[in-house]
A and B are shown apart, each in its own frame.
Chain A
């Protein structure tokens, strides 16, 4: 993508992408790999199971740069991605993502998992 007229625009805020995907062990690799190899940083990520676990919802918080449209088209091509929707977002969502885990975090890390 280097050299394209597209990348000269600087980031203006965040977007949240909501992906509905088939739920199996390879899906995260497909999605994250795509962002990584197109050098597109993911700022925040949240995955939740849906419909009894057959599908998952992946929320990706990303910079709203000019390549985003192209990224979304690429994500749509992934076989296991059933739907992609984009929403306007801001930093606050990133902080709130952390807050979700705050309760577990407060109990302190767990020593007994054989790790």
Chain B
């Protein structure tokens, strides 16, 4: 039995779904919801400082746990402020549920105070959205939102609830059962055996893993398949972490700032097996010249991703985890010897090893935390060693958007699925800090490190207050180059070195700013023992900011010029005399 108003019903249904935390900001149109939330004993509210921040906090929770996360905003400006975080979740397939207050039903369509058509505005950026028209609908819509957000290809859902629906009384003899994800259909057996044959018949195959592998928990089966079929593996930005860096089959990331080896070898492959990746242009470069000689097997849970950009020779609509698990025994049988190699892979594996040796990644200054790559690598090594890892689960790595993001992707040692949070599809500056706070609150036993840039940090810097208030275990490692580094890099390389509108003339004292918000901070440049100060900052309870000055002129290499083929990437070559010598400088070494 339930008796109460619509707002109380919403909160009760959220409790029954197991929701524990809701970031958000109150306002006139969602005050009934807040009144009901205030009375909840199992849901904690996190008062964000901007609704975009609240949305990214929800993303931090959802990306690390895989469970849908809910956030609240009021009507009008509160609602419009959520849109960037929702669009970001759409492009990276993250299950978040945004619940907005709306003006009372009778006022909808009258340009009432703080009325905007958030239903219409969120249409293109949600997996689905609802405008709730009666209190009775809530009992269906709330569980349904959970059923929509996570199964299949996850995505954001928006529920717009007019104020009168929140305050209307309702009596239900029974509350609806919390939604369970629908079972996904098993992959087509025939298609899988065809895939197994193609894999084993190929001379030069490559396996490309995307974000879908991380989100369906398929990393370990992907690795087993790669090993069983001797498949060299490359990963998209969101797919990183499926294989240890030092694994001989690991080629690293492909695409715009990928490894030279991955981009070169993709050009040579005769079969590309894509699992849970959507062949975004940052990954493929100029499409006509991407793996132009190769056959394509494409596995994705979203049928509309198949044949969207590149026609597949074999398209399999399936959960990647299920598909790869189904493929594994078939490939093993096909190879004739369980756990053995597909025949004739020797020359290809030799070529892969040679190409990797000839193209070690070039990360200068790795062991100095005061360099752009060193701050990433040293942080990673400190977090991997010592007490941090003894608790079982390692650190969660979050980034903002820019050069620092690409360097984290390239040089952070051994990223892990669901512990690597970055805005891939939308590339949203300002993602980092709030996503890190959300991740820290949903995973209180784990340390969260957020690599940020001075431009990105300023886009949601107000959330330092939320970090201080919640005591979230977030260390922001700020690569401060006094400007929009990645923009400067494009201007430097592709716009005749005309650096315009991308350097800040006012230098901000981020240490003071952080302290002003109640967050401890240090400038690593002023430290006498940078490494041990960094370690202390990473160990400290609660939020902390570490500023590291870096030079904006330091570009990230390699880089594929926008619109060019991956193979035409520039930079990142080893100095001639280093070839074969310092292979260990590659990711995973040193």
A interface residues, Cβ below 8 angstroms from B: 1, 3-6, 25-26, 29-30, 33, 37, 69-70, 73-74, 76-79
Contacts and interface: CB of A to CB of B under 8 A. Distances in A.
B128 A79 contact: yes
Interface of B: 119-120, 123-124, 127-129, 131, 148, 281, 286-288, 302-304, 307-311
24 contacts: A1-B308, A1-B309, A3-B281, A3-B286, A3-B287, A4-B287, A4-B309, A4-B310, A6-B311, A25-B131, A26-B131, A29-B120, A30-B123, A33-B123, A33-B124, A70-B307, A70-B308, A74-B304, A76-B304, A77-B302, A77-B304, A78-B128, A79-B127, A79-B128
A70 B304 contact: yes
B287 A69 contact: no
Nearest to A71: B304
A40 B124 CA distance: 15
With a 10 A CB-CB cut-off, give which of B287, B302, B304 has the most chain A CB atoms: B304
For the complex, would chain A's binding face be called helix, strand, loop or mixed by DSSP majority? helix
A26 B311 CA distance: 33
B279 to A, nearest CB: 10
B30 to A, nearest CB: 20
Given A26-B131, A37-B124, A79-B148, A5 B311 contact: yes
A69 B307 contact: yes
With a 10 A CB-CB cut-off, give which of A1, A3, A78 has the most chain B CB atoms: A3
A3 B562 CA distance: 13
With a 10 A CB-CB cut-off, give which of A6, A78, A79 has the most chain B CB atoms: A79
A31 to B, nearest CB: 10
A73 B128 CA distance: 16
A70 B131 CA distance: 28
Nearest to A70: B308
B590 to A, nearest CB: 39
Nearest to A77: B304
A5 B310 CA distance: 7
A5 B288 CA distance: 8
A73 B304 contact: yes
Contacts of B304: 70, 73-74, 76-77
A70 B309 CA distance: 10
Contact of B123 (A4, A29, A76): A29
